[in-house]
Structures are given as C-alpha cells and as structure tokens.
C-alpha cells in the first residue's frame, strides 16, 4: 500500500511538471522589454492596467519607477486619467498604439530655450525625419536626441532671441512611419536687462507686514502709488463696502492706516470691488490726492479725493462716478473695469487704460466732465500669453507637473509699456498656488483694434514662506516696482493671514 502511494506521488509530480511546461503563461517583462501600457507588468495590456492608473491617481496605490514609465502612455511626463483613457482606447482598437504624438502637438519654448519630446515607435528600426522651415533655421533647430530601442526623443532648441523681444513661431514636421505630425513652436521673448527673473518672497522687502482688516473688510484688492504714499483697498463681503489704507513710504515706521469717510472706515457701495486704483493727480497746495478706483461693476470708475497731509487720514469726498462703455456693432456696451492705469494727466484731463478680464481699453476723462457722465473707451489690445492661460509645467518646489491657470489682476503704466499682474491657480479645482507673475506689454500707446503687442515676461514670484501668496496689483515709485499681496501661512485653517505691501530688492526699472 505504501509503495502504491509513493508511485502515485511520483506520477502526480511528473504530470504537474508537464502541464507547467506545455501551458502558456504571462511572464513579467524585463525593464528593457516592458510594453508601454503594461502597468502591472503581466506581459499584457488590458483593463487591469487602466485600473492600476486610476487607483494610482486616487492615491490608493503606489507605482515603482518602471511602472510609472509604463503608465505614462502619452509621454507628457504626468500620470493621470488621460493615460488610463488612452489604454482603454487601445483595448477597443480606437488607437493602435502609444507614440506620444497626436495629429498636432502644441508646445512653446520659453527662456530655458530647450524642449524634449519623447515618443514610442512600432520598432527599434523605425526612422524619424525632422523638417524645420527654412525661414526658422536661424533661431530654431530640431535634432534626434536619444534612441533607446523603439523609444525615440527629439530635441528642439531656440537661439538668437530678438532684442525687442518679438514672439516668433514656426511649425516643425515629424515624419514617422509614413505619417506626418506637426509641432507648433513659439519662441517666447527673453527679458532685457534684469526682466527675466524668478524671485521668492525672501528676495523682496516687505514695508507693511500686515494690512489690517477693519470692520470685516478683509479681501485685499487694488493698490495705487504716488510720489510718497501707497494706497491699498480691502473689500467686505460681496462688494458691500471697502476700506482704503494709506502708507507713508518716507516714514521710518511704515504702517497701513485706514482712511475715514464721514467718521467711518468703511465706504459703502460706490467703490464696488475696488479691484485696482491709480493716483490721477497730486496737489501740494490743497494737500489732497485724487484716486481713480476700478469698481469691477457697471458703476465704472470712482473718483476719490484723499487728504494727504501727514497727520490727517481722511477721504474728503467721493467726487464723481463715471460709467464706462464702448460703442461696438452699433450698440453701447458697458465695461466693468477690473484694472486701471494712467498714461498721462494734465489740467485738461487724463488719458488712461482700463481692463475687463484680459481686454484692455483706452480712453480719456476730461477734467470738466460732469458727474455721472459716461466715458467712451475703444479697444486697444488683449493681455494674451504666448503659452495660453492654462499651462502644464513642472514645479520644482512641488516636485511634479501641475496644470495652472493664470488670471489677469491689476495693471500699471510706465514709459510706453503696460505691466500686468497674473495670479496663478490650479486649473482643476481653482485653488490658488503661491505663484504670481508680471508681464510687460510694449508699445501700447499705439495699440488699437486689438492689434497684437509684444510682451516680455518680467518675472515670477513664488513664496517660500506662505502657503497662499497672490499678487493683486502693482505700481512704480522711483523706478522700483511695489505690489500688494494676499498672504496666508495656513490656507486650510484660514490662519496667519498677513496681507502685505512689498517691493523687489534686485529689480530697478529706471532703464526702461
């Protein structure tokens, strides 16, 4: 009986070995031979791989480095739901493979001057041919960078930036396995002098650490700069009321002092959202300044007379309210100004720019115009960004790619150029980052009918102190660019709010 049992065990072991040899099985691929899309490394591409990506995006699963490479099927450097969608399209034969190339690829080359595009071909022997337009060869090159089996990479490089910072564009053609792909390339202008500059708030000098919130007017908004004073606005609730603060830049101890109007620190209704402000005149004899306030409403522009004597912090009166409109297609359309910049002011009136959204208008307010009279504006140009308003880019502080949306804020004018503040938020949930930028648009005096104007990226600023850091508006004083910023150390708990007034230590614009 024991002999029979031993015989049975031997036969069973032989049968198991034969079955293991003859039946096909999925063998995990080595790193060198691993299929793009084979996230779980089982040698196949199926719905399980799409699920792995979805679980990774939802942060319920981690991936090792090789799995991350396999998961990035669209070669954009980011693992997200678009990679899972591409795998699902592959499974049902909507797409035939993963090469990272669409019919048209949009990319922009910024001041880093170099961009790599990686994609996968059907075989290591696949040839890639690149064609650069003859007219662009003086500033653009395209060449193979690496070839690792079926994975190819090309490098696009820009050079010979124009002195005037003109945006140039060209289309590079990629011939791959019998199909043409086009890459639209823009060479963004390099800044002149010190204009191309990435700063952190540690590079800035804070002159007012905490603009206070009086009577629950807590949302920091517009700012205006005169020859001595900086004015800042905060609004309450849904534009119900606003408070204007004055800071003496020549005082040894600088604070933001709230101005009173009829004994109250709140100015109700007429200032609207107070998105942006400018000082239109300064009269030493009468001791007052006149502020133009962009209300972000159909009210238009409010004129506010402010007592500028050192010991007096009062609003003398709300002098005029000027609704703004544009004649277009036979209709009068009201403008809700969210930005304002003075070009020139004389005894006869004021030439100015205003904005709503990204649209810049220009017009003139006559000094003798009646209260509540409409002011007619014309279209000048748009605050376009060559990379678009929504940008996917790598953030070295976060250590990952992020999709950002840039929104135009306050504006200011200097020597024929308009400077525009852009705040940055997450394009998916609209939560704000601690990143803002300032763009300079040149030759704006002649801009009409939305003709494209040349712009240069002056600088970006990213906070290394505050979790939330948003520039609101800016203005010049003696060649130095001042700005105000909403700042919070702890966004989640809404604590340590320290709205400030700052300037940049290493930027002087007297040469511009």
pLDDT higher at 337 or 425: 337
Q: State the DSSP code for 94.
A: S
Distance CA 460, CA 161 (A): 20
Give Cα 224 to chain centroid, integer Å.
Answer: 23
Distance CA 57, CA 322 (A): 51
Domain residue spans of the chain:
28-91, 104-187, 197-504
- What pLDDT is attached to residue 28? 46
The answer to whether 104-187 and 197-504 have equal CATH topology is no
Rounded to 5°, the CA angle 375-327-278 comes to: 35
pLDDT higher at 416 or 185: 416
Contacts of 14 (CB under 8 A, 6+ apart): none
pLDDT higher at 473 or 73: 473
> In this predicted model, what pLDDT tens digit does every residue of 93-129 receive, in sequence order?
666 667 555 433 444 444 346 666 666 666 677 777 8
Q: Which residues of 175-185 are buried (b: 16+ CB within 10 A; e: fewer)?
A: ebeeeebbbeb
Token pair for residue 355? 């904005």
Average pLDDT (226-239) is 87
Distance CA 215, CA 240 (A): 12
pLDDT higher at 284 or 413: 413
* Residues of the chain above pLDDT 90, percent: 23
- What pLDDT is attached to residue 13? 43
Q: Is the pLDDT of residue 284 over 60?
A: no
**Paired strand residues for 422:** 408, 437
Distance CA 19, CA 12 (A): 11
Distance CA 512, CA 224 (A): 20
Best CA proximity match to 211, nearest among 177, 179, 258: 258
Asked whether 467 and 455 are in contact (CB, 8 A), the reply is no
- What pLDDT is attached to residue 497? 79
Report the top-level CATH class of 104-187.
mainly beta
Which CATH entry fits the domain spanning 197-504: 3.40.960, 1.10.1330, 2.115.10, 3.40.50?
2.115.10
pLDDT higher at 145 or 375: 375
Average pLDDT (17-44) is 57
Q: Is the pLDDT of residue 21 over 50?
A: no
Work out the mean pLDDT of the chain and round it to a whole number. 77
CATH for 28-91 is 1.10.1330.10
> In this predicted model, what pLDDT tens digit does every residue of 56-69 receive, in sequence order?
988 888 998 888 88
Q: Is the pLDDT of residue 38 over 60?
A: yes
- Distance from first CA to last CA of the chain, Å, rounded? 104
Region of residue 307 (phi > 0: left; psi between -120 and 50: alpha; otherwise: beta): beta
Residue that is written with structure tokens 């763009």 in the block? 439
- What pLDDT is attached to residue 104? 38
* Residues of the chain above pLDDT 70, percent: 72
Contacts of 495 (CB under 8 A, 6+ apart): 488, 489
- What pLDDT is attached to residue 76? 65
Average pLDDT (399-413) is 86
């Amino acid at each position: 009986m024991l002999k029979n049992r031993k015989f049975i065990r031997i036969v069973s072991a032989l049968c198991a070995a034969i079955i293991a040899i003859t039946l096909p099985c999925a063998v995990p691929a080595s790193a060198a031979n691993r299929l793009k899309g084979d996230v779980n490394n089982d040698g196949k591409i199926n719905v399980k791989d799409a699920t792995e990506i979805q679980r990774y995006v939802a942060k319920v699963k981690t991936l090792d480095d090789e799995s991350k490479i396999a998961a990035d099927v669209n070669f954009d450097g980011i693992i997200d739901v678009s990679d899972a969608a591409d795998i699902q399209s592959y499974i049902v034969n909507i797409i035939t493979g993963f090469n990272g190339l669409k019919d048209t690829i949009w990319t922009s080359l910024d001041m880093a001057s170099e961009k790599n595009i990686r994609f996968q071909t059907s075989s290591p022997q696949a040839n890639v041919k690149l064609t650069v337009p003859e007219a662009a060869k003086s500033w653009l090159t395209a060449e193979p960078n690496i070839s690792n089996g079926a994975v190819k990479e090309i490098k696009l490089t820009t050079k010979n930036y124009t002195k005037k910072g003109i945006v140039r564009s060209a289309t590079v053609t990629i011939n791959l396995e019998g199909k043409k792909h086009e890459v639209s390339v823009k060479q963004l202008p390099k800044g002149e002098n010190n204009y191309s500059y990435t700063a952190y708030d540690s590079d800035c000098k804070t002159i007012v650490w905490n603009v206070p919130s009086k009577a629950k007017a807590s949302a920091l908004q517009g700012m205006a700069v005169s020859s001595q004073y900086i004015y800042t606005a905060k609004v309450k609730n849904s534009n119900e009321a606003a408070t204007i603060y004055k800071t003496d830049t020549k005082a040894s101890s600088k604070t933001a002092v709230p101005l009173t109007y009829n004994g109250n620190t709140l100015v109700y209704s007429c200032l609207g959202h107070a998105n942006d402000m400018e000082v239109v005149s300064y009269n030493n004899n009468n001791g007052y300044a006149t502020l133009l306030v962009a209300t972000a409403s159909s009210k238009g522009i409010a004129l506010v007379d402010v007592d500028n004597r050192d010991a007096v912090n009062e609003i003398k009166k709300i002098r005029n309210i000027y609704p703004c409109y544009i004649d277009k297609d036979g209709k009068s359309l009201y403008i809700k100004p969210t930005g304002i910049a003075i070009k020139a002011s004389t005894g006869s009136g004021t030439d100015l720019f205003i904005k709503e959204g990204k649209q810049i208008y220009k017009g003139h307010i006559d000094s003798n115009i009646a209260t509540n009279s409409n002011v007619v504006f014309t279209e000048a140009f748009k605050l376009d960004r060559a990379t678009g308003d929504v940008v996917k880019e790598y953030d070295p502080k976060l250590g990952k790619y992020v999709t950002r949306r840039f929104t135009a804020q306050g504006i200011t004018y200097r020597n024929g150029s308009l400077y525009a503040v852009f705040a940055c938020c997450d394009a998916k949930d609209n939560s704000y980052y601690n990143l803002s930028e300032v763009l300079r648009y040149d030759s704006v005096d002649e801009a009409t009918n939305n003709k494209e104007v040349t712009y240069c990226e002056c600088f970006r600023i990213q906070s290394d102190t505050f979790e939330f850091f948003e520039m609101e508006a800016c203005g010049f004083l003696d060649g130095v660019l001042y700005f105000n910023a909403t700042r919070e150390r702890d966004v989640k708990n809404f604590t340590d709010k320290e709205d400030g007034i700052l300037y940049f230590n290493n930027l002087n614009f007297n040469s511009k």
